Structure 1
Amino acid sequence: MADKPPTPITDANANHEKPDLKSALADKHNLITLGVALNKLAKQLGADTSAPAVLAALKTTSMVIHPDTRYAQDAGGRVALETFINNLGLPPPDSHFALTGLAAAVTDRGQVHPLGNMTGALSWLVPPSADDKRRIRLITMSHGDPQGQYPLVMQTNGLLLEFLRSRTALPAGALKDPATARDALLSSPEGQLLGETLQKTMRGVATDSSTMDYLLAAVALQLDPESITETRRNMIAGFDMMSDKHWGKPVSTVLKSFEQYLVTGKRTSAAMAGVASSVLLPGRVPAFGIKDIPASVTYGSPAWVEVSIIAAIIEGLTPGKVANMTFAEVMLAAPSVIAADPALTQRAQREALVDWGVINGVLPKKDDHLYSADELDALLLEFNTRKALTSTASQALDADIPSRKEMALIELKKRFPGQEALFEQKLIHISRKETAAGGDVGYRTVEVGPHSMLDIAMMKLPRADLVLTSKDTRVPLAALQANPHFGVADAFESQFTHAIQEKKAAISTYIKHLISQAPLEVREDLEYGKISFFQEHSRTLGPGFTGSTPQPKNEELLVRVERNRMTKAYAISFNRGTIDAVHLSRASPESHREANVVHDTKAFTPNGDDATRRAEQKHPTQRPPNSFSSERTGLIANAFVQHVDLDDDAIKQQARGVTTADRNRRRGEAVTEFILDLIPFRSAINNFRRGDIGAGLFDLAIDLFGIVTAGAGVGGKVVKIAGSGVSAATKVARSAKVIGMATISALNPLDGVGDLAVGAWKGANAVSTGLKRLSGIKARSDLVAASRHFDAASVGTFTRKDDILEGQAVLIKDQWYAYNPTTRQPLRVTAGELCTLRAHGGRQYGQMGDSDRFD
């Protein structure tokens, strides 16, 4: 005979309302609307607006109220901002600073989903045991129509989510928005029925959130039964998020692979795959839920490390927020969240850096708790060193090559302030005084003029016997004659040489970075294969096909790879920031003509080349190559630097500028736009590498290395190799502030089996052996408040397996429960886990009196 269903546990002293997710979401929507309205108002009023003006504007400015909110029933379609703010119990802002501050605060609150990170009961202060999880899943799979007219969940193609979808009228377009579809399914009558069934069958406390908590746990456990026993952090539903197939791929590609895996494994349907990931991922890998992640932020890249760390911290502090944030919002939040919870921050840093270390060949792949302090120290050193190198390279690529003209103008302004209008006017002649054999004195022209003051400052004139003359009395001839030497020519030569060397080093660093961020197959081909280089040239034939004029060389460097009896070809592009597989024919010597243009592919042998270093190598270990720091990557980076040829004289000629004397000697005629077009980086010289990742309030850019910067009007960092002058946009870019994580100072090894031994659900306050305090323990007033709704309340300790937990507890019908004062909900634990509770030197509040012990 079947066991009689257990009697549900209820709180007789409290009146619990039916969960209303739709209204809660509408309330969140109203907060976002208020934030937008306040920011708009602040912009309209300006920073210096008066308090009366702000308060008056709040009275006359209205906002639309979401129709599903409870407040809309009384307020109608619109409400004044002042009225809505008062309804929130907040004082109205009376300054520009207060407007923007309140806007940020309500937006933050509005971004937090009412259901948190979708883990439900799995992230309770005391989550269900493994046995309880198995029961929840079994009950879920056996759930069906009470009248037996429809298949059970286990009999439905697509299982639980498809079971709910087939019985729920989804809003129009919901299937294109997984979050909307998810919320509709969870709040549907069928979903609530399953949640209530689980709560009753599991003898859970009936609270205003218990139905949804059990339902969320049911969805997660149906999709991911492996989480009941799984200890590996990156394994979700049997899918390895850290698979080498994902390395170097856009985050969206990894997400699609995960969803396809769920469908292929028959855990859900294709229509519900997005809904499934929106339930499983926020509590495990929240960064995958971030909106508008740039395609350049690939899995395992330094930029991915940064955003993963920040997202994990935000989600740990405010579960359910990250999925409603954009990439720009997450990065901008870094300064305010990093120091909020040091333990949380260090865990997020450790997990993200361990993954980065494995991907980059710095660490072997193993469980987190097996890494020693020495391994983590070496990892941290490698990460911070690489971060410093890429930061230096980014600045070097952003910097202008010295301009002799700009240097000369600076010196002229120092010596002749207020005379800028004369600097470029050609009013001066240069000659040398000579005495003939008969004693006659004459003057011989040294440089055919006339010259400008700027010409003289740029030139390296002979030291003796120079005479400067001019018919224009405005020219300060006496001062110039006394000292016509400015030192600009020599200073330019020195600074130019130094700048070119820095650019070469920066380009080398960038190519190393590109290779290290490529998919593993590409990295291994370049690391271990026999490689040879090719360049693509072109020339235009003259009339009658006699003679030819060279055209710009393709900036891509072609690499032919022979490995494991296979031959491939790759094109490395600085301008696009890519390493692409190309047809093998492109990396072979050949020549063909299209009309009057001849295309030639030629083998390229860098200076100092050693054929043995380019030969095929054996794969030394099972660990991925440390591509950034390897000798082979250095060889390829050096080849690319030589391919670019920053020693091309055209670059220096443009930087030198042209004086009258240069033009007279025809030295400047060769420095034309045509010659400059032969430089492979021409497109990068004249154009921004656009990396906009924010708009409006979020003024961010992402550079070549994935470094995120914030600054007024930043459109992207300039890759300026041979540009002339400093554009306004360049100056703005240089004022940009790097945002994200500061240098990470320390990583501590894990004790025991780690922070999250089984299931790895974020938000669960997992503990190791010893006394641990459950989060949420606050002041005595919390216990007093709890005692008003339950039979008694106290702070005590109880054991669960090998752990001793400390937390608040409430008494309901002679049964003690762990209590979460934040949600004001009791959390049931099984009799085997709830052994003994003891009060700690305080009183037990409630009807039972002042007892120092309770069982």
Structure 2
Amino acid sequence: MTAISNSRFSELYTPQLASAVPQPQSARLEVATELPGTRQTSLQDKDQWLASIYGGTLRDLLGDNQDYREVEVDRIPWNSSLGQTRALMLKLLGSPAFKDWAKQNDVDLSKPLTINVDSGTLDVTTTGAKQRNPFDFSPPTPTAKSLDIHSFTGWPLLMSVAKTLAGPGNVVSFDTASTATTATIADIARFHGHAVPSDRILSPSQRQASIQQLLDKLQDPDSDTYNERFNFPPQQYLNNQVSELGDLNNRNAVIGVISNVVNEKAKDLEDLEAELQFWQKRSGYEETIEKLQLTIKQRLQNVLDTPVEIDPTSSYFRDHNLKPDVAVTLRDYLVGHGIVLPTNASELKNIAQSLANPPIEKPAHGNLGGAHSWPTPMSNDDRRALAAMTSKFLEGQPENTLLAYLTRGVEYRQNFGASFLEDRSRGIDNVLEFPNVKKFALAAEREFGEIASPNVIADWMLTALYDSLDPLSINATSPDSNRTKVAGFDLANMNLSGMNAQDIYATLSDHLRETGVTNHYNGVLAMEVLLARKAPELLVKDIPETLTKGTHSWVSFVTAVARIEAEAPGSTSRMTYAQVMMRHELAPITLADKLVEQQAQTDALKDWGVYNGVLTRSSTDQYSEEDMAKVRAAFNEQMHQLNESSKTFATPFPVLHEMAVASIKEQNPHLSEEQIKRKVLTPKDSGFLEFPGPYSLVDILINAERHHKDVALDSYTSSDKDIDLSTIALRKFTNSFVVSTFEAQLSVLFDRFERATQTQVKNLISKLPVEDRNIIEHGKITVSREVDVTYSGASNTPVGLEPSPHSIIVQSEFVDASGRKGIHTYEIDGPNNIIRKREDLNDKTPATIPGIPDKSTGPLPPVGDSVVRTRSLIPIVPDGDYKEDVLAPRSNDNVNNAPNSFASEKTQYIADALVKKISIRDNAESLRGTTAFDGEVPFWQKIEDFVVGLIPGYNAVKNFIAGNWREGLIDVAFDVFGFLLAGAGGAVRAAGAGARAGSSAFGSTAKRLVRGAIGALNPIDPKGIAQGFVQEGITYLANSGPGRNNQPSFKIKYDPVKIFRNVENATIGNANMQGTTTAIAATQKNGKWYALDPVSKQPFGLPLKDFVPSA
């Protein structure tokens, strides 16, 4: 049995969903073997037949005047390499998946398509019918358009076939009306690897010379170009591509089945699930709950019994030995692909969304790990040997580091400027062309032997460069964890808490320069190589500045990055924050993906626990299960409070008028809402009403209750013949019921609003840098309100004006580690959701002022500007019971550790002080003055204006959203606590999250990050994971105890005999892999053995030193 790296779990679960772009070369061994080739004689014969037809046609064109490039050959053998490849392209372009994609993008499939395999674009002609004005009856206007090919679910296969047809070029055009056995001379020439003149018009002599050149290449077996003919895809590769198309058809069929089921039965399931949740919150209804659970399970079983049409050319059909016309259920398909069966409607939808999501494009050089990212990474012994060779190689060179040597004489601005960061893969390609890079790679190969790799130079350069930048990773002797260390820099350092990605990146970059690892010019390359594998989240584009390390949003972000990196290493450096988080919105559907997510979140929670004072940091990065359970509980509690607070701030304010209208409408259905609001009623006697009217029914109902009277409609006359008071009836005490209901809802909202404000303050303090959090937690604090005080009149009465009516001032007298005492002042501004330092108040001492009540928290009457004001701080004492020493200084023995600010009693005191300062209830009561209805603002509207004005971000939203500002307020409510796509403080919609990262064909542009609000994931039982594997030969997962990064070292065991039984040139034997004798498969080249990757079946790595073939 052999182990596979943890990072490759998902590839083994869903091999047919792999996102790598298959290449003709990659279907065969990347190194030439000593065994016979894999091409069948029959295929060779057909290709030779095509070559003879091609040559004959060229000879016929000698002396002809026409442009030979467009001459069609209609006798292409259907079973030749070209014939099969063209047939595959036609089938792919005619597949249901591609037709659906074309329809969504308004593509006219009757027109030729041009695929650029280099840029990944598809040039098409649109029908012109999409997004037309329904009243526009003019003929559609077709237009030329370039589309991103990566938005098509089957783009890897499309790109692979296109590359084969394009030969040495990068562009291929295809007409869906063409046939597989007809192609132009230019098409055939490109497929043979022959260069075709690109000039639009050729002179007669140029045409003849070009034709003769092609004929000479065909007749010269020693020509380099001629030998390209033997690089045609082998039959097995062509067969595999046909299977891939079959797999794509299967996936599209499954998506269609689920979509139909969702449309027909999802609402029923969702209603049952909502009913189940309702009863689960109540006790004594176990029987009802059990019946509902059984009903839901039965309904889902019925859904999973839905038949799915399986393509007979697919790998699933072949691997499961299916027979034609034998039904396969949705359950069979999902289980056969390692997909966890859904337990509710939401999970069912998520499966369809995930299957419809295009795979991510893998960068050419992955995560820049070189040999560190091989299926079995280079051993530490080999790494140390490479490091020693590197040191010896640099002897006598003017540079003392490998980085400086590799970049000698390079134009830094040209190679490491903005273009490098924009397209890192292309930037690394440029680096590989540096003269010294090739020199070093050749020297390494001479020392260690040839490695099996698609890009030998890249692997040698990236491996050696990383180890030279981070020598401690191979030479460390301390027990410290290597998970967060890079080049001597600790990415989990306490001082990074509260920093955003840009600042952390800059801090690491400064460290590398200060320690002499890099200089101002080559630091970009070093940062890319170091971070792409160790901290790829720092390379993601457009990360909001408000997203900071140590927050729950950071946990969600790094978990999302890890999930994508497991699927496509290195890909997140090409993605934006919005693309990463939108992809994360799709929950994992396989056990392997779930495990990747759980392990990534566990690492992130360790750092979160340390930053938030829940854990005391362990230098070995190892924590007990009890410690991790404590972290998960604290994280879940904080997430619960933040979620509830977001919902509170987003809760619609109760509107008394709307409640009154609804009540009147319910009792008088013959009235419209407009009639109920129509002001046409005049009192016969003005009585208790302030004005004679006219009034509406709503006005009368509400005003009667405010004067403790019941509604008496016979006291009014109507000036509108459509509103006959004799036909209108209101139950007794209707007004009392409506108003009391409104008051009850208002009271509940006030309670929730106060709790949300407390949570907001706790969240703001917990997001501060550790230094500031320690100052607040360990210092002697006071909480005050800021007041400008003056004295007026002969009595010299103090009068105050609060410059920030909804802010509080926190002062801390703090003694640092050196014994220096100082005053630190902070302003907590709720409506603007910020804590700012107020050094201008450091010299102010909070004190009560006679004549200004200590507990008066509302704004005091202002005075004229000509009067001198004195800035003062007046203490605020919140309501509640606290320890007597709650404000006293704490011991700073553990000041180097982070305090648990969110759950601190001192933080709670500060939060309660802001609630007291705002005094929602007192201010609301003061707004209940008598209000007329005609042209006046009702009291409930004034209360709403006051309360929503306290919601963080309200003022900004009201300023840029016209009309329905309440909708924008909901966005901000979730943005405040980091649950919006833009990140905390962004409050903007993200657009175009798909791009190359792939966007779901099902998903919407929902702004709220639903999965960003989930708590800690429950640990997955590794014993159950092996059941989810679908690749034969994988037997179980073993837990070898704490491993790297303190994660259980889950290792997938596989049987090489079963895995490689159908792979030609694979020999089973034993070799020493990472210090253990292991059964593996290998292939031979130049008398040396190379291990085979159990996933891709390709050789990799250094020659095996002690491989012994089995008997």
**Under TM normalisation by the shorter chain, which class is it?**
0.7 to 0.9
State the AA in 1 paired with 2:904: S
Higher deviation after alignment, 257-266 or 617-626 = 617-626
Q: Percent identity?
A: 21
After superposition, what is the alpha-carbon deviation per residue over 1:119-176, rounded to whole angstroms, capped at 9, x for unaligned? 01112122222221122123234436xxx9xx62xx426x333323223456737423
How big is the shift at 1:677?
7.8
Distance change >3 Å, CA 118–CA 303, structure 1 → 2: same
Which of 553, 572, 576 is the equivalent residue of 2:828? 572
Matches within 5 A, 1:445-456: 448-450=691-693, 451-456=695-700
Structure 2: stretches of 5+ with no match in the other structure: 1-29, 38-114, 135-140, 150-162, 181-190, 192-240, 257-350, 816-820, 847-861, 962-969, 990-1003, 1023-1038
After superposition, what is the alpha-carbon deviation per residue over 1:640-685, rounded to whole angstroms, capped at 9, x for unaligned? 222222224358748x99543996xxx9699979x97899738844
- Report the 3-state secondary structure (helix = DSSP H, G, I; strand = E; otherwise coil) of the residue aligned with 1:293: coil
After superposition, what is the alpha-carbon deviation per residue over 1:763-800, rounded to whole angstroms, capped at 9, x for unaligned? xxx967xx85379x7975x565451xxxxx13455444
Q: Distance in 1 between matches of 2:769 and 2:775?
A: 10
Q: Distance in 1 between matches of 2:631 and 2:356?
A: 39
State the AA in 1 paired with 2:956: N
Are positions 1:227 and 2:473 aligned together?
A: yes
> Contact 1:64/1:79 (CA < 8 Å) preserved in 2?
no
Q: 1:722 — aligned with what?
A: none
Distance change >3 Å, CA 507–CA 464, structure 1 → 2: closer
Q: 1:725 — aligned with what?
A: none
Q: 1:422 — aligned with what?
A: 675
Are positions 1:163 and 2:405 aligned together?
A: yes
> Contact 1:170/1:181 (CA < 8 Å) preserved in 2?
no
Distance change >3 Å, CA 281–CA 74, structure 1 → 2: closer
> Contact 1:809/1:816 (CA < 8 Å) preserved in 2?
yes
Matches within 5 A, 1:784-795: 784-787=1062-1065, 793-795=1066-1068
Which of 934, 950, 955 is the equivalent residue of 1:681? 950
- Report the 3-state secondary structure (helix = DSSP H, G, I; strand = E; otherwise coil) of the residue aligned with 1:562: strand
Q: Distance in 1 between matches of 2:145 and 2:1072?
A: 56
> Contact 1:534/1:559 (CA < 8 Å) preserved in 2?
yes
Are positions 1:30 and 2:119 aligned together?
A: yes
Q: Distance in 1 between matches of 2:615 and 2:502?
A: 26
Which of 933, 936, 941 is the equivalent residue of 1:660? 933
Are positions 1:344 and 2:596 aligned together?
A: yes
Q: 1:353 — aligned with what?
A: 605
Are positions 1:756 and 2:756 aligned together?
A: no
How big is the shift at 1:509?
0.7
> Contact 2:639/2:1014 (CA < 8 Å) preserved in 1?
no
Distance change >3 Å, CA 823–CA 548, structure 1 → 2: same
Distance change >3 Å, CA 426–CA 252, structure 1 → 2: same
Are positions 1:812 and 2:1058 aligned together?
A: no
Which of 395, 398, 410 is the equivalent residue of 2:647? 395
- Report the 3-state secondary structure (helix = DSSP H, G, I; strand = E; otherwise coil) of the residue aligned with 2:957: coil
> Contact 1:650/1:676 (CA < 8 Å) preserved in 2?
no
Are positions 1:642 and 2:894 aligned together?
A: no
Q: Distance in 1 between matches of 2:35 and 2:435?
A: 23
> Contact 2:1069/2:1082 (CA < 8 Å) preserved in 1?
yes
Matches within 5 A, 1:493-504: 493-504=743-754
Q: 1:45 — aligned with what?
A: 130
Which of 554, 558, 576 is the equivalent residue of 1:308? 558
After superposition, what is the alpha-carbon deviation per residue over 1:435-484, rounded to whole angstroms, capped at 9, x for unaligned? xxxxxxxx956664322111123231513877432142332423546536
Q: Distance in 1 between matches of 2:922 and 2:1057?
A: 69
> Contact 1:125/1:820 (CA < 8 Å) preserved in 2?
yes
Q: 2:531 — aligned with what?
A: 281
- Report the 3-state secondary structure (helix = DSSP H, G, I; strand = E; otherwise coil) of the residue aligned with 1:281: helix
How big is the shift at 1:292?
0.9
How big is the shift at 1:361?
1.4
State the AA in 1 paired with 2:739: A
Matches within 5 A, 1:230-379: 230=476, 231-336=481-586, 338-340=588-590, 341=592, 342-366=594-618, 370-379=622-631
After superposition, what is the alpha-carbon deviation per residue over 1:167-224, rounded to whole angstroms, capped at 9, x for unaligned? 3456737423443644421343321332232123112335432221111101101101
Q: 1:555 — aligned with what?
A: 806
Q: 2:1032 — aligned with what?
A: none
Q: Distance in 2 between matches of 1:463 and 1:757?
A: 72
Q: Distance in 2 between matches of 1:315 and 1:329?
A: 13
Q: 1:490 — aligned with what?
A: 740
Q: Distance in 2 between matches of 1:119 and 1:689?
A: 49
Q: 1:826 — aligned with what?
A: 1099
Supply the RMSD in Å over aligned alpha carbons. 5.1
Q: Distance in 2 between matches of 1:358 and 1:538?
A: 41
> Contact 1:449/1:661 (CA < 8 Å) preserved in 2?
no
> Contact 2:31/2:452 (CA < 8 Å) preserved in 1?
yes
Q: Distance in 2 between matches of 1:490 and 1:813?
A: 90
- Report the 3-state secondary structure (helix = DSSP H, G, I; strand = E; otherwise coil) of the residue aligned with 1:30: coil
Q: Distance in 2 between matches of 1:734 and 1:414?
A: 34
Q: Distance in 2 between matches of 1:203 and 1:690?
A: 67
Q: 1:583 — aligned with what?
A: 839
Q: 2:902 — aligned with what?
A: 628
Q: Distance in 2 between matches of 1:546 and 1:15?
A: 105
Higher deviation after alignment, 306-315 or 448-457 = 448-457
- Report the 3-state secondary structure (helix = DSSP H, G, I; strand = E; otherwise coil) of the residue aligned with 2:679: coil
Are positions 1:773 and 2:1053 aligned together?
A: yes
Structure 1: stretches of 5+ with no match in the other structure: 1-8, 17-25, 50-55, 433-442, 693-698, 718-731, 761-765, 788-792, 838-852
Q: Distance in 2 between matches of 1:478 and 1:275?
A: 85
How big is the shift at 1:560?
0.9
State the AA in 2 paired with 1:45: K
> Contact 1:555/1:644 (CA < 8 Å) preserved in 2?
yes
Q: 1:608 — aligned with what?
A: 879
> Contact 1:373/1:748 (CA < 8 Å) preserved in 2?
no
- Report the 3-state secondary structure (helix = DSSP H, G, I; strand = E; otherwise coil) of the residue aligned with 2:414: coil
> Contact 1:797/1:805 (CA < 8 Å) preserved in 2?
yes
After superposition, what is the alpha-carbon deviation per residue over 1:706-753, rounded to whole angstroms, capped at 9, x for unaligned? 113599xx9559xxxxxxxxxxxxxx9999562437443423799666
After superposition, what is the alpha-carbon deviation per residue over 1:317-349, rounded to whole angstroms, capped at 9, x for unaligned? 211211111111111112446334233222112
Q: Distance in 2 between matches of 1:644 and 1:279?
A: 51
Q: Distance in 2 between matches of 1:569 and 1:828?
A: 59
- Report the 3-state secondary structure (helix = DSSP H, G, I; strand = E; otherwise coil) of the residue aligned with 1:817: strand
- Report the 3-state secondary structure (helix = DSSP H, G, I; strand = E; otherwise coil) of the residue aligned with 1:601: strand
> Contact 1:314/1:337 (CA < 8 Å) preserved in 2?
no
Distance change >3 Å, CA 645–CA 29, structure 1 → 2: farther
State the AA in 2 paired with 1:817: Y
Distance change >3 Å, CA 15–CA 741, structure 1 → 2: farther
After superposition, what is the alpha-carbon deviation per residue over 1:226-254, rounded to whole angstroms, capped at 9, x for unaligned? 11144421011111000011001111111
Q: Distance in 1 between matches of 2:901 and 2:356?
A: 45
Answer 1 or 2: which has greater helix percent.
2
How big is the shift at 1:831?
6.2
Are positions 1:468 and 2:468 aligned together?
A: no
Distance change >3 Å, CA 807–CA 358, structure 1 → 2: farther
Q: 2:204 — aligned with what?
A: none
